[in-house]
């Protein structure tokens, strides 16, 4: 079985968001797989995807704090500044976290750990809507 589908995510302000439900609901066919993989790919260079703790909103807030501290807006070495001070840090953060996730599927559902959820990582102040390509394969 192969399936590929685009998933649109609404505009969000800069920060880290739990989107596991939105993503899983868009692929009900996962229930038919005894074993397989879900691949999620974000079509952008200033937003990214990761898996992390799905319970405490303060974890997601602390993600934003650490990344904004580690990749500062006002560093002397930036030369790509035409698109605003949040743009070049957004590119770096996007590559640190990565543009895609591969999640195993077993017995009809994502095999995530108890505390693992899918994060949309929005690195622009106003990045607009974001598009994912979800690709699923298995048997």
* Contact between 115 and a copy of itself per CB under 8 A: yes
Contact pattern from residue 42 through residue 81 relative to a copy of itself, giving x for each residue in contact according to CB under 8 A and a dash for the rest: xxxx----xxxx--x-xx-xxx-xx--xxx---x-xxxx-
DSSP state of 88: H
Least distance (Å) between residue 30 CB and a copy of itself: 14
Report the residue from 9, 27, 30, 103 that binds a copy of itself according to the rule CB under 8 A.
103
CA R_g for the chain: 16
The span from the CA of 49 to the CA of 104, in Å, is: 16
46: Cβ contacts below 8 Å, ≥ 6 apart: 87, 90, 91, 93, 94, 123, 124, 127
How near is the Cβ of 128 to a copy of itself at its closest, in Å? Answer: 13
Choose among 53, 69, 71: nearest CA to 16: 53
Q: Which residues bind a copy of itself (CB under 8 A)?
A: 2-4, 35-37, 39, 41-45, 50-53, 56, 58-59, 61-63, 65-66, 69-71, 75, 77-80, 88, 91-92, 94-104, 106, 111-116, 119, 131, 133, 135, 137-139
């Amino acid at each position: 079985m192969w399936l590929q589908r685009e998933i649109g995510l609404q505009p969000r302000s800069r920060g880290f968001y739990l989107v596991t439900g939105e993503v899983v609901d868009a692929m009900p066919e996962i229930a038919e797989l005894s074993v397989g993989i879900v691949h999620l790919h974000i079509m952008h260079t200033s937003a990214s995807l990761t898996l992390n703790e799905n319970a405490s909103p303060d974890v997601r807030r602390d993600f934003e704090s650490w990344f904004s501290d580690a990749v500062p807006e006002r560093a002397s070495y930036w030369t790509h500044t035409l698109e605003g001070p949040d743009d070049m840090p957004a590119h770096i953060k996007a590559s640190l976290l990565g543009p895609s996730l591969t999640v195993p599927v077993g017995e009809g559902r994502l095999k995530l750990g108890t505390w693992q959820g899918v994060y949309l990582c929005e690195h622009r102040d106003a990045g607009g809507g974001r598009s994912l390509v979800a690709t699923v394969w298995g048997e």
